[in-house]
Amino acid sequence: MNEVCKDREFVIQEICKCIYGNALPFNLVRSPLFIQMLKVVGEYGRGLKPPTYHEVRVSFLKKAVDNIQKSLEKYRSDWEKWGCTLMCDGWTDGKGRSLTNFLVNSPSGTVFLKSIDTSDVIKDGKKMFELLDNIVEEIGEEHVVQVVTDGASNLVAAGQMLMEKRTKLFWSPCAAHCLDLILEDIGELPVFYNTIANAKKITTYIYRHTWVLNLYRQYSNGGELARPAVNGDSKPASPYIYEAMDRAKEKIAQNFQMQESRYKKVWKIIDTRWNLQLHRPLHAAAYYLNPRYHYDKNFNPDSEVLIGLYETFQRMVPDIRTRVIIDQQLEKFKGAKEIFGMDMAIATRDKKQPALWWESYGKRGKELQKVAIRILSLTCSATGCEKNWSTFDQVHTKRRNRLEQQRLNALVYVKYNLQLEMRQNSREENGDIYDPICLSDIKSDDE
pLDDT digits (tens, 9 = 90+) for 176-212: 888 888 888 888 888 788 888 888 888 888 878 777 7
pLDDT of residue 27: 87
Q: How confident is the model at residue 430 (pLDDT cuts 50, 70, 90)?
A: low
Let me know: does 182 contact 167? Beta carbons within 8 Å.
no
Residue 232: which region, alpha, beta or left (left: phi > 0; alpha: psi -120 to 50)?
left
**What sign for the dihedral angle of Cα 230, 236, 238, 241?**
negative
Q: What is the domain partition of the chain in residue ranges? A: 2-50, 78-174+387-429, 178-187+233-376
Q: With a cut of 50, say whether residue 232 has pLDDT above it.
A: no
CATH entry 3.30.420.10 includes domain 78-174+387-429: yes
Let me know: does 147 contact 88? Beta carbons within 8 Å.
yes
148 vs 96, which has greater pLDDT? 148
Instruction: Give pTM, 2 decimals.
Output: 0.77
pLDDT of residue 394: 55
pLDDT of residue 396: 57
User: pLDDT per residue over 379-428, tens digit each?
Assistant: 877 765 555 444 555 555 555 556 566 777 788 888 888 877 777 777 66
Q: How confident is the model at residue 175 (pLDDT cuts 50, 70, 90)?
A: confident
Q: With a cut of 90, say whether residue 442 has pLDDT above it.
A: no
User: pLDDT per residue over 325-381, tens digit each?
Assistant: 999 999 999 999 999 999 999 999 999 999 999 999 999 999 999 999 999 998 877
User: pLDDT per residue over 82-138, tens digit each?
Assistant: 999 999 887 777 777 788 889 998 888 888 888 888 888 888 899 999 999 999 999
DSSP letter for each residue of 292-356: HHHTSTT----HHHHHHHHHHHHHH---HHHHHHHHHHHHHHHTT-GGGGSHHHHHTTTTS-HHH
pLDDT of residue 109: 82
pLDDT of residue 90: 79
Let me know: does 149 contact 158? Beta carbons within 8 Å.
yes
Provide the angle, in degrees to the nearest 10, between the axes of the packed helices 175-187 and 190-208.
100
Task: Select the highest-mean-pLDDT range: 54-63, 65-74, 419-428.
Answer: 54-63
Q: Which own/partner pairs from 19-25 qualify as long-range (CB within 8 Å, at least 24 positions apart)?
A: 25/445, 25/446, 25/447
Mean pLDDT of the chain: 83
Q: With a cut of 70, say whether residue 4 has pLDDT above it.
A: no
Neighbours of 185 (CB within 10 A): 16
User: pLDDT per residue over 277-315, tens digit each?
Assistant: 777 899 899 999 999 999 999 898 989 899 999 999 999
The residues that bridge with 86 in the sheet, in sequence order, are: 104, 147
Neighbours of 379 (CB within 10 A): 28
Q: Alpha-carbon distance 321 to 331, whole Å?
A: 16
